[in-house]
Amino acid sequence: METITIGLLGLGTVGKGVVTLLQTQAAKIARTQDFRFKLKSVAVHNLAHHQGDRLPAGTILTDKVTDVVDDPEIHIVVEAMGTIAPAKVAICQAILNGKSIISANKDLLATAGEEILQLAKTAKVDFFYEASVAGGIPILRVLSSCLETDQITQITGIINGTANYVLTAMDRKGQDYKTALAAAQELGYAEADPTNDVQGIDATYKLIILSRFAFGQSLSLKDVPAQGITNVSPAQLASANQLGLKVKLLAVAKEEKHQLFSFVGPAAIPAAEPLAHVNGVQNAIAVQSDALGETTYTGPGAGATPTANSILSDLLATGDDIVKGNCGREFNSYRKPAIAKPLTAVPQRYLITVEGTGNLLSIVSNIPTVSWQQQATGQDYWSGLTPVIDHDDLEQLCASLRQSGRQVAFLPIANSWQTVPEKVRE
Amino acid sequence: METITIGLLGLGTVGKGVVTLLQTQAAKIARTQDFRFKLKSVAVHNLAHHQGDRLPAGTILTDKVTDVVDDPEIHIVVEAMGTIAPAKVAICQAILNGKSIISANKDLLATAGEEILQLAKTAKVDFFYEASVAGGIPILRVLSSCLETDQITQITGIINGTANYVLTAMDRKGQDYKTALAAAQELGYAEADPTNDVQGIDATYKLIILSRFAFGQSLSLKDVPAQGITNVSPAQLASANQLGLKVKLLAVAKEEKHQLFSFVGPAAIPAAEPLAHVNGVQNAIAVQSDALGETTYTGPGAGATPTANSILSDLLATGDDIVKGNCGREFNSYRKPAIAKPLTAVPQRYLITVEGTGNLLSIVSNIPTVSWQQQATGQDYWSGLTPVIDHDDLEQLCASLRQSGRQVAFLPIANSWQTVPEKVRE
């Protein structure tokens, strides 16, 4: 039985999960595969921080990345550093040394992915990154191995656990954003600097990677107009509930007529849709496609062992390719040109919430196209659903409501953008 | 670019779906693969029934299975006949002729799967059957490629669309079983002879296949005590609703301490669980595992194009193996000994429904361990949740209630069987 030697970069939460799972799953791997894995060395930034970490007997702990990426005995480098620049240098060096790469680094993949993928293809090494999107949900392998023969028309994801946790807490406990975020930070569900999670940047990175697999399309950060959840108010959550809707941070990409419409931001989801029931740190991705209709994949979006399991499934695929001499196949080989557009270009329905004191009835009743209703709780705000309207008309409508001095906010209604009219198609 | 030649057995719903998808997806397949497919011939039972069917130009229609399985030009045989005996003969002959096989035939796989898989392994051909379980949901490939590095502890599936459609209709419309079934037959969601679907036989076949992938365990039909939905009453659905539960036909396999507990039958699911929201002909499979916790896979369980898409993903995998000379790898290579037991051996909670006329209070109040409540609708039945009890104690409890002449029915509460006590473990 062949032994495949692994080098690991980084020993944080994900790295430790990989070390653990390689040990606990060794017997099962030996039973089902023609090879076994050996973890030879682990590179960390600061040796002093890892003196207490337990590694398998014989595994080398080093603070030099080159001890891993330049080691001729190592077949596969698992990158779990989580930075952009140093990880890129290390990965490129390892590829040039003929090593296959497994990475969980969504930031790197979203911003410099194509460049590294080309390098890996040229060097005929494997480069897998299942763990970069939705942690433990095997969505990239599902898209590349199971839905490759289908035509995907839309991907809708709840793919940031922190944002979903905060919104769920706001909804269930009636908390405002700041209180819910502080509680999430206390419990370790949000980082000390939560910017990437709550501003939708992390979800955008993941949507960029998903769009390559689903649509063959390489979006860049500037193509996706991301909004965060920082301005979502308890009044918006309450008015959504009253109308049978749940507010989630959604990442959406929808293809129609060679255009790829994308959106990252808070949206209101009808309770009948599966994504409305995805709560807390759970992630879920709904895929709409011609042959299957809708399939939904739900599971843990983060955490040591879920992320490590995705890395181990990449390791098995790479190990199999090494044993059979098949390295160099792309994780995703689908490419198809499309024009990137914001989803706001598509007419859709919106939930409008008007807050403020005094008589709001006279104000909202000026906008008869919206089905207004007052909060059942008796608080001083009104909410309503618009018909399907252009974004310009929505802005105009909100502007007229704001003239009263009231606070006006809107959320798109998920999947109300079903039909792209001809004029947008042009 | 290599051409891989396909022969198709059967041109019913699934076979026609394969023909369609091979044509609509040809361009995408050519863009992402090193090969193209050619459908050379299609064998049907009765040529006269298929004179109007449209096949690609040059495709041969024959009523001789041997024209396909003995044709030396054909690399892959897709079996979409859906019978047991003739399909087995055809598949075995094709394997002996060195052809790889793709099948959607759950009945055959559940009853004679191991035998054919051994034959395929010896002949070094591929044998894939993603379409045999849960139609369009890629659950087998997820289990074999993505969760292979995890330790699965439980699989819970809604894997019969007909039964789920009937139960959903009974729940939503307040219909009794016979009315709901007749409506489903009218709409084509249930067959004229619905035995396999409503008696839980079809779900048992699928659970047997799932258990091989998830637990490495080959259950046989007699290991799984299957019940159907034919005795589920509107009163049971109503009492479940009152307690925040939804009744579904579940297929469950749970491994603990080298024992595999299985169950197929109606059960009540707490509304907080994702499976409670799977309605109509939808299928879903929840997988509990050590590394991932719970992941859930939801989608269409049947239909021409979803099933055909699963067959096409098998075709891509086989095509890749043929091009690279890798045929003969098993779809699932996991084997692990375990003792098969019925899940009823594990103590669990039950929903009990007592129907009848007259004063039921005096009867149910004799059983104080159950938290009884009267139907809010004022109808003459009571329902209650038991604590976690042995199945023998449940039977005794129901027997004592039946002495009053009332109709007594029970449903297990999903996931109330979490802990297997020591005495069951022995």
**CATH code (residue B351):** 3.30.70.250
CATH number for position B255:
3.30.360.10
Q: Collect all residues of chain B within an 8 Å Cβ-Cβ radius of residue A136.
A: 291-293, 295
**Shared-domain flag, residues B188 and B295:** yes
Per-residue pLDDT at B423 = 64
Amino acid at A312: L
DSSP annotation of A336 reads -
Three-class secondary structure of residue B8 per DSSP: strand
Per-residue pLDDT at B425 = 46
> Chain B interface, mutation test: which of A146, A298, A312, most B Cβ atoms within 10 Å?
A146
Neighbour count for residue B85 (Cβ, 10 Å): 9
Q: Report d(CA B293, CA B288) in Å as an integer.
A: 5
Across the interface, of A136, A145, A310, the residue whose CB is closest to B313 is A145
In a domain, B309, yes or no: no
Q: Which residues of B are annotated as a binding site?
A: 9-16, 106, 191
pLDDT at B371 over 90: no
In a domain, B306, yes or no: no
Per-residue pLDDT at A378 = 61
Mean pLDDT computed over B19-42: 94
Q: Report d(CA A104, CA A133) in Å as an integer.
A: 8
Q: Report d(CA B418, CA B310) in Å as an integer.
A: 33
Give the domain extent around B29: 2-125
Q: Tokens 């040039």 map to which residue?
A: A96
CA distance B168 to chain A (A): 14
In a domain, A282, yes or no: yes
Closest CA to B339 of B267, B264, B426, B266: B426
pLDDT at B267 over 70: yes
In a domain, B275, yes or no: yes
Six-digit token string for A375: 């909060």
- Between A339 and B421, the more confident residue is A339
Is the CB of A334 less than 8 angstroms away from the CB of B151?
Answer: no
Q: What is the CA radius of gyration of chain A?
A: 24
In a domain, A130, yes or no: no
In a domain, A11, yes or no: yes
Three-class secondary structure of residue B404 per DSSP: coil
Using CA of residue A262, residue A266, residue A272, residue A274, what is the dihedral sign?
Answer: positive
Q: Tokens 């034919």 map to which residue?
A: B230
Q: So what's the ipTM on this one? A: 0.93
In a domain, A24, yes or no: yes
CA distance B41 to chain A (A): 21
Q: Which residue of B has its CA nearest to A151?
A: B25
Q: Which residues of B are annotated as a binding site for L-homoserine?
A: 191
> Chain A interface, mutation test: which of B295, B320, B322, B323, most A Cβ atoms within 10 Å?
B295
Residues A191 and A197 sit within 8 Å (Cβ to Cβ): yes
Closest CA to B395 of B347, B340, B341, B342: B347
Annotated binding residue at A13?
Answer: yes
**Shared-domain flag, residues A290 and A164:** yes
Alpha helices (H) along A25-99: 26-32, 65-69, 85-96
**Shared-domain flag, residues B115 and B151:** no
Across the interface, of A149, A274, A312, the residue whose CB is closest to B298 is A274
**Shared-domain flag, residues A119 and A24:** yes
In a domain, B135, yes or no: no
Alpha carbon distances (Å) from A159 to A178, A278, A294, A326, A366: 21, 11, 17, 32, 38
Q: Report d(CA B383, CA B351) in Å as an integer.
A: 7
CA distance B147 to chain A (A): 7
Q: Report d(CA B6, CA B304) in Å as an integer.
A: 18
Across the interface, of A142, A306, A326, the residue whose CB is closest to B293 is A306
Q: Collect all residues of chain B within an 8 Å Cβ-Cβ radius of residue A32.
A: 148, 333-334
Residue after which a domain boundary falls, among B125, B155, B188: B125
CATH number for position B71:
3.40.50.720
Across the interface, of A32, A149, A290, the residue whose CB is closest to B148 is A32
List CB contacts of A91: < 8 A, sequence separation 6 or more.
A77, A79, A101, A103, A108, A116
Pick out chain A residues at pLDDT < 70. 376-379, 421-426
Q: Which residue of B has its CA nearest to A297?
A: B297
Residue after which a domain boundary falls, among B67, B93, B125: B125
Q: Collect all residues of chain A within an 8 Å Cβ-Cβ radius of residue B24.
A: 151, 290
Is the CB of B292 less than 8 angstroms away from the CB of A309?
Answer: yes
**Shared-domain flag, residues A34 and A157:** no
> Chain A interface, mutation test: which of B35, B149, B294, most A Cβ atoms within 10 Å?
B149
**Shared-domain flag, residues A191 and A225:** yes
Mean pLDDT computed over B307-316: 97
Residue after which a domain boundary falls, among B317, B343, B369: B343
- DSSP conformation letters of B118-159: HHHHHTT--EE-GGGSSTTS-HHHIIIIISTTS-EEEEEEE-
Q: Tokens 């891993």 map to which residue?
A: A68
Q: Collect all residues of chain B within an 8 Å Cβ-Cβ radius of residue A28.
A: 148-149, 151, 334
Per-residue pLDDT at A373 = 79
Residues A217 and A259 sit within 8 Å (Cβ to Cβ): no
Is the CB of A295 less than 8 angstroms away from the CB of B292?
Answer: no
Residues A230 and A350 sit within 8 Å (Cβ to Cβ): no
Across the interface, of A130, A297, A308, the residue whose CB is closest to B291 is A308
CA distance B402 to chain A (A): 39
Q: Which residue of A has its CA nearest to B141?
A: A146
Q: Collect all residues of chain B within an 8 Å Cβ-Cβ radius of residue A303.
A: 293
Q: Collect all residues of chain A within an 8 Å Cβ-Cβ radius of residue B147.
A: 138, 309, 313
Is the CB of B309 less than 8 angstroms away from the CB of A315?
Answer: no
Residues A353 and A235 sit within 8 Å (Cβ to Cβ): yes
Residues A99 and A69 sit within 8 Å (Cβ to Cβ): yes
CA distance B155 to chain A (A): 14
A183's enclosing H/E stretch is: helix A177-186
Q: Measured over all CA atoms, what is the biggest interatomic distance in chain A, rounded to whole angstroms?
A: 79
Per-residue pLDDT reduced to its tens digit, B141-161: 999 999 999 999 999 999 999
B253's enclosing H/E stretch is: strand B245-256
Instruction: Please pick, among B40, B88, B99, B206, the residue that the annotation labels catalytic.
Output: B206
pLDDT at B29 over 80: yes
The total number of structural domains in chain B stands at 3
Per-residue pLDDT at A425 = 46
Q: How many CB pairs under 8 A join A and B?
A: 167
Across the interface, of B294, B308, B333, the residue whose CB is closest to A291 is B308
Is the CB of A305 less than 8 angstroms away from the CB of B294?
Answer: no
Question: Quick one: chain A helix, strand, coil %, rounded to 5?
Answer: 40, 25, 35
Is the CB of A28 less than 8 angstroms away from the CB of B137?
Answer: no
List CB contacts of B152: < 8 A, sequence separation 6 or more.
B143, B214, B215, B255, B287, B288, B289
Across the interface, of B28, B136, B145, the residue whose CB is closest to A141 is B145
Annotated binding residue at A408?
Answer: no
**Shared-domain flag, residues A188 and A295:** yes
Q: Which residue of A has its CA nearest to B299?
A: A295
**Shared-domain flag, residues A264 and A377:** no
Across the interface, of A24, A295, A298, the residue whose CB is closest to B136 is A295
- DSSP conformation letters of B267-324: EEEETTSGGGG--TTEEEEEEEETTTEEEEEEEESS-HHHHHHHHHHHHHHHHHHHHH
Q: Report d(CA A164, CA A278) in Å as an integer.
A: 8
Residues B353 and B233 sit within 8 Å (Cβ to Cβ): yes
CA distance B346 to chain A (A): 27
**Shared-domain flag, residues B147 and B288:** yes
DSSP annotation of B47 reads G
Is the CB of A336 less than 8 angstroms away from the CB of B31?
Answer: yes
Per-residue pLDDT at A7 = 98
Q: Collect all residues of chain A within an 8 Å Cβ-Cβ radius of residue B293.
A: 136, 299-300, 303, 306
Q: Tokens 């469950």 map to which residue?
A: B252
> Chain B interface, mutation test: which of A309, A330, A331, most B Cβ atoms within 10 Å?
A309
**Shared-domain flag, residues B98 and B244:** no
Q: Report d(CA B178, CA B192) in Å as an integer.
A: 13
**Shared-domain flag, residues B174 and B111:** no
Sheet arrangement for strand B350-355: B371-374, B381-385, B350-355, B407-412
CA angle at B298 for the pair B294 and B300, rounded to the nearest 5° = 160
Annotated binding residue at A11?
Answer: yes
Closest CA to A24 of B378, B362, B149, B65: B149
Q: Collect all residues of chain A within an 8 Å Cβ-Cβ radius of residue B246.
A: none
Q: Which residue of B has its CA nearest to A29?
A: B149
**Shared-domain flag, residues B17 and B66:** yes
Per-residue pLDDT at B379 = 67
Is the CB of B138 less than 8 angstroms away from the CB of A145?
Answer: yes
DSSP annotation of A333 reads -
